[in-house]
Amino acid sequence: MKNTNNQTQTVQEQRNRISYGMTLLVVGVLIYLFFGINTTATSQTTFSLNLLGSQAIPLSDLVLPAQGTIYLMVGIVVFTGAYQLARGVKSTGLLVGIIAFTFIAAFLTWATQDKSFNLTGMISSSLVRATPIALAALCGVISERTAVINIGIEGIMLMSAQIAVVTATMSHNLYVGLILAIIFGGLIAAFHAYLVIQFKVDQIVSGVAINIIGAGFTSFFSSKYLQSATDTLNNSGTFPIISIPVLSKIPILGPTLFENNIIVYLMLILVFAMHILLFYTPWGLRTRAVGEHPKAADTLGVNVNFMRYINVIIGGMIAGLGGAYFTIGSVGRFDELMTSGKGFIGLAAVIFGKWNPIGAFASSLIFGFADSLQVKLQILRVPIPSEFLLMAPYIVTMIVLTGIVGKAIPPAADGQPYEK
């Protein structure tokens, strides 16, 4: 048995090795064709590394010869491809990273030739835009680890966003809004859990219902009350930027990681807290067992439904925090349907990140990056429609789902009600 296992693995590995190697080579050619040819030999690309208004120690701008840089990227990716074909690299994450890095670097160099581009600003805004996606994804991760799919995240975030801004405006205290948004998110999630655990309602149907009710209720409330009373109900202001002493002075890292508002910090803390919770604590062990083999957990005295309730509710509270980000975390007012599908993108990030908190966070960053890139490209007047760039993350998610690039395996019991 052992022997055949090894054999099949090597066959599989060999197939993977060759396909990855070929992909890398193709990407090299593409970079050359798309960007290398279109760049003049003399043009230079300027990357600014300082963020306006930041406390970080200023750095001088990074000025690069455009064509040289692009050729360097081609070189890196082709070399890695050749190495991969010949020897094979163990980590597929590394390969995907190299592909993404070289392609994006070459693209940016080409797009900004003879112009200047603020790299730090780009990274910083990627993180900010990734925040609600990451919070939605964390909600998805913890729910699905106990085998409850929650596609109502969008609706939860929408309602929490509204609750946050209205209560914050009325109480003149942003923290009241924040806490109520979190509690409310937990309540909606509890309702979802109640439907799918108690009544064994199809989990996706229940999520759809929450989304419809969320959109309907917030729009109803908004047009009934908020539009006529913006100042008294829908104008809360936003959380201030908190600069972490000393750390915020580090160039590049400072302005991106250590000059943010409280929700961004909470998101970062939650990513690591959830990782530790899931993989290093009894609670996490039970959570994962319930998601993989609920009956096994049950026979050892683990209360399956209790675990599901609590984890789904925790997820809802995190989604509630994500909802609060949209209003009191960024613009200070509620607009109808303002979450604009971020909850669904979060779900894609869950799968993309293979049901791991850190993976989900990394995927959210990719979506955030694509989002902010679009804005920047409009400023740079790049001659390709930004809509196509915006499609890229969705297409990539679909490719990931095919399993060609590393199969994402969900928790074994994901989506199934537990029956004794």
Partner 1 sequence: MSKTASSKETKEKKETAPTGIGGGSIRDALLVPTLAVITGLIIGGIVMLVSGSNPIQAYGALFAGSFGSPSAILSGLQAYFATGDNTLLIKSIYPFTESLVTATPYIFAGLAAAIGFRAGLFNIGAEGQFFIGALCSAFIGYSIKDLPMIIHLPLALLGGALGGAIWGMIPGYLKARFGAHEVVNTIMMNWIAFRLSDWLLKGPMQASNFRPVTPNVFASAELPRFFEAPLRFNLGFFLALLAAYLVYWFLFKTTLGFEVRSVGANPDAAKYAGMNIIKNFVLVMSLSGALAGLAGTAQVLGVDHWVGQGFSAGYGFDAIALALLGKSHPVGVVLSALLFGFLRSGATNMQSVAGIPIDIISIIQGLVIVFIAAPAIIRWFYRIKSLKIDEQTVLTRGWGK
Partner 2 sequence: MANVLELQGITKRFPGVLANDKIDITLREGKILALLGENGAGKSTLMNILYGLYKPDEGKIFVRGKEVHIDGPNDAIAQGIGMVHQHFMLVPVMTVTENVMLGIEPTKNGVFLDQEKVAKRIAEISNQYGLEVDPASYIKDLPVGIQQRVEIIKVLYRNADILILDEPTAVLTPQEVEGLFKIIATLIKAGKSIIFITHKLKEVLAIADDISVLRLGRMVGSIEPNKATPEKLASMMVGRDVSLVVQKSAPKPKEAVLKVENLFVRDERENLTVQGVSFEVRKGEVLGIAGVQGNGQTELVYALTGLSSAESGTIELNGKNLQNATPRQILESGVSHIPEDRQRHGLILSFPIHDNMMLCTYYQEPFAKGISLQEKAILSNAEALVKQYDVRTPNIYVNAGTLSGGNQQKVIVAREFSRPIELLIASQPTRGLDVGSIEYIHKQIINKRDEGTGVLVVSSELDEILALSDRIAVIYKGQIMDILDAKKASKEDLGLLMAGIHPSTSPKKK
Cα angle 261, 391, 112; round to 5? 70
Nearer to partner 2, 172 or 295 (CB): 295
Residue 205 Cβ, how far from partner 1 at the closest point, in Å?
Answer: 4
5's contact among partner 1, partner 2, none, with CB below 5 to 8 A by partner kind, is: partner 2
In the complex, the smallest distance separating the C-beta of residue 353 from partner 2, rounded to whole angstroms, is 17
Q: Which of the choices partner 2, partner 1, none does residue 79 contact, using the CB cut-off of 5 to 8 A by kind?
A: none
What angle is formed at CA 417 by the lines to CA 416 and CA 419, rounded to 5 degrees? 125
H or E element, residue 64:
strand 62-65
Tokens of 326: 């949209």
Please state the separation of Cα 151 from the chain's center in Å.
Answer: 15
What minimum distance in Å lies between the beta carbon of 84 and partner 1? Answer: 23
Residue ranges in 288-347 that form contacts with partner 2 under rule CB under 8 A? 288-289, 292-293, 295-302
State the Cα–Cα distance between residues 177 and 323, nearest whole angstrom: 11
Please, what is the minimum distance in Å from the beta carbon of residue 382 to partner 1? 14
> In the bound complex, what is the minimum distance in angstroms from residue 170's beta carbon to partner 1?
17
Q: Which does 170 bind (CB under 5 to 8 A by kind): partner 2, partner 1, none?
A: none
Binding site for partner 1 (CB under 8 A): 147, 149, 151, 195, 199-206, 208-217, 219-220, 222-225, 341, 344-345, 347-348, 351, 385, 387-388, 390-391, 394-395, 397-398, 401-404, 408-410, 413-416
Q: Which does 201 bind (CB under 5 to 8 A by kind): partner 1, partner 2, none?
A: partner 1
Q: What angle do CA 273, 279, 284 make, to 5 degrees?
A: 85
Q: Are 301 and 246 in contact (CB under 8 A)?
A: no
Q: What CA–CA distance (Å, rounded) separates 221 from 217?
A: 6
Residues in the chain: 420
Stretch that binds partner 2, among 1-9, 316-324, 345-353, 382-390 (CB under 8 A): 1-9
Choose the one of partner 2, partner 1, none that binds residue 212, judging by a C-beta under 5 to 8 angstroms depending on kind: partner 1
Closest approach of Cβ 89 to partner 1, in Å? 24
Position among 272, 280, 306, 388 found at the interface with partner 2 (CB under 8 A): 280
User: How many Å apart are CA 405 and CA 331, to the nearest integer?
Assistant: 38
What is the distance between the alpha carbons of residues 187 and 271, in angstroms, rounded to a whole number?
Answer: 22
Q: Which of 107, 161, 115, 135 is nearest to 370 (CA)?
A: 107
Number of residues that bind partner 2 (CB under 8 A): 25
The Cα 57–Cα 233 span in angstroms is 41
Decide if residue 202 touches partner 2 (CB under 8 A): no
Q: Assess contact for 255 and 56: CB atoms under 8 A.
A: yes
Distance CA 260, CA 293 (A): 40
Indicate whether 281 belongs to the interface with partner 2 (CB under 8 A). yes
Output the smallest distance, CB 172 to partner 2, in A.
38
The site for partner 2 (CB under 8 A) is made up of 1, 4-5, 7-8, 12, 280-282, 285-286, 288-289, 292-293, 295-302, 412, 420
